[in-house]
Amino acid sequence: MIGLSHSQIETFDQEGLLCIPNFLTPDEVSSMLARSHQLLDDFDVTNHPRTSFKTGENDQMGDNYFFDSADNISYFFDVDAFDEKGDLRYPKSQAINKIGHGLHMKDELFRKITFDDKVKAVARSLDYHDPRVIQSMCIFKQPVSAKESERANAVPPHMDGVFLYTEPQSALGFWFALEDCTKENGCLLYNPGSHKVFPITKRFAKVDHGKKGCNFVDVKYDKTNIPEDKPEDYLLVECKAGSLVLINNSVLHKSENNVSDKSRFVYAFHIIEGEAKYDELNWLQVPPCEAGGTEFSKLYEEN
């Protein structure tokens, strides 16, 4: 299976992000989109702890439902999903921000896509020796028509390596558009080349072994010659359904609120290098496997 071309590897190295159109077939896109809607429709809110997915500084503190999501199919609400009385503002299928984080382990279709030879070829092109799959999820931006005003589903500028911290940094995001992504419905934006000039200054870490949730803690970094992160430096990543967007662990990226009448559905997962250090402070941990021991799923076995 052919992976990335030389020019694509160069672009990814320089930009920190690469969009590959038509990576998924139309049949794959339609199947994944249908499965996403089915998961939303089948969701039972009755016994859910109403955990929301929050992205602001010091917002997402973490609870047991969040910590236990590594190997199952869990549901996370938008921050504005409930009113002051604790009632849903809109139908449950329009209130969920994401479903994760073990879709590649628990859902046959998403597992097939995740471990496809095309994905393996991309990882090999980028010299991953022992890639491990983590944090697979469906991410939803619902349209304005779901309520009277804008949905509060913007994601502020961030680096994935803050949340999936390894030494050395090795996280790589695979972001699949299941619907057309536009400026209006909240496509990705990124600061090209920011992974080369902006250091990771903090990490999202468990506090007191998770008993007090998670918080952002400082890490050592070179504080010299750090430029200003300017909104005008960000570029839109508008793309068609079926596109794959590769995201470097340290590139600054974000997305704005969906201000359209069309949804924006995405499937995403990350890989990390199995040879890198992944410690107990990270929020996402591998549960014990049936064969004994703990480890993330191998994307492939090197010969």
The helix (H) or strand (E) run that includes residue 237 is: strand 235-237
Is 12 within a domain?
yes
39 found inside a domain: yes
For residue 303, tell me if it sits in a domain.
no
Asked whether residue 101 is assigned to any structural domain, the reply reads yes
> Nearest 10 degrees: CA dihedral of 54, 58, 63, 65?
30
Residue 2 has pLDDT above 90, yes or no: no
Give residue-wise pLDDT tens across range 68-104.
Answer: 888 999 999 888 888 888 888 888 888 899 999 999 9
How many other C-beta atoms are found inside a 10 Å radius of the C-beta of residue 155? 19
Tell me if 1 is assigned to some domain.
Answer: no
Which pLDDT tens digit goes with each residue over 200-219?
999 999 988 778 888 899 99
Residue 152, pLDDT score: 67
pLDDT above 80 (res 276): yes
What pLDDT, on a 0 to 100 scale, did the predictor assign at position 49? 84
Q: For the chain, how are helix, strand and coil distributed in percent, rounded to 5?
A: 20, 25, 50
Q: Which residue, 192, 189, 194, 190, is CA-closest to 227?
A: 194
Domain count along the chain: 1
185-190 mean pLDDT: 97
Give this prediction's pTM: 0.93
Report residue 208 CA to chain centroid gap: 25
Does the pLDDT value for residue 144 go beyond 80? no
Query: 144-149, long-range: CB within 8 Å, 24+ apart, which pairs?
Result: 144/258, 144/259, 144/260, 144/261, 145/261, 146/90, 146/91, 146/94, 147/89, 147/90
Say how far apart CA 56 and CA 163 lie, in whole Å. 13
175, 53, 154, 46: CA torsion to nearest 10? 100
Per-residue pLDDT band for 168 (boundaries 50, 70, 90) equals very high
List the domain range (segments joined by +) for residue 235: 6-298
Average pLDDT, the chain: 90
Give the distance from CA 26 to its chain's centroid: 22
Q: What is the pLDDT of residue 58?
A: 47
With contact defined as beta carbons under 8 Å apart, do 142 and 207 qualify?
Answer: no
- CATH number of the domain encompassing residue 20: 2.60.120.620
**What whole-number distance in Å separates Cα of residue 64 and Cα of residue 62?**
7
Q: Is residue 90 a part of any domain in this protein?
A: yes
